[in-house]
Structure 1
């Protein structure tokens, strides 16, 4: 996992990360939302809250690795539905 990770594995989907903007996604050039979906297809959460949470967990995991803290797993508390 050291080094650049392969991307572009989902046809038409582009996920972009900008440090000061967070994660965004497009499908065939159209803006789409990231979502958390159960195995049976129920949408639990979607949109900017999911993108922010995914980015925060990824950044925290990376920072822990850089600090040499030995914690390679970072957990997020449960998301609450935004209104």
Structure 2
């Protein structure tokens, strides 16, 4: 898809971004909110400013790599399948 994707589709929150300050998150009534990584069991594994910064940096890296012709259209904050820190993996049945 070429063009600017549709935004403003969340029911209970807003995400905005600025090229100099990164992401900002709020609830629909204007209260501050945080970005979180939630596992498949619904547990919050990480949240807050560090998650927002990492998401922003990955987003910027993929755009910059693409624009400079590196061909990297995927950027991971850690090698795929390898956790940055040792995190217990859930048992899969």
What TM bracket, shorter-length normalisation?
A: 0.7 to 0.9
Matched positions, count: 80
Q: Greater RCO between the two (CA within 8 Å, min separation 6)?
A: 1
Residue 70 of structure 2 is matched in structure 1 by 69
Q: Structure 1: give runs of 5+ residues left out of the alignment.
A: none
Residue 8 of structure 2 is matched in structure 1 by 8
Residue 58 of structure 1 is matched in structure 2 by 59
Query: Greater strand share, 1 or 2?
Result: 1
TM superposition shift of 1:68: 1.4
- Output the CA distance in 2 between the equivalents of 1:70 and 1:15: 28
Q: Structure 2: give runs of 5+ residues left out of the alignment.
A: 86-93
Structure showing greater Rg:
2
TM-score normalized by the length of structure 2: 0.78
Q: What is the root-mean-square deviation of aligned Cα atoms in Å?
A: 1.5
The list of structure 1 runs, each at least 4 consecutive aligned residues, that deviate by more than 4 angstroms after superposition, is none
Q: Could you report, residue by residue, the CA deviation over 1:24-49 in whole angstroms, capped at 9, with x for unpaired residues? A: 10011111100000011111110100
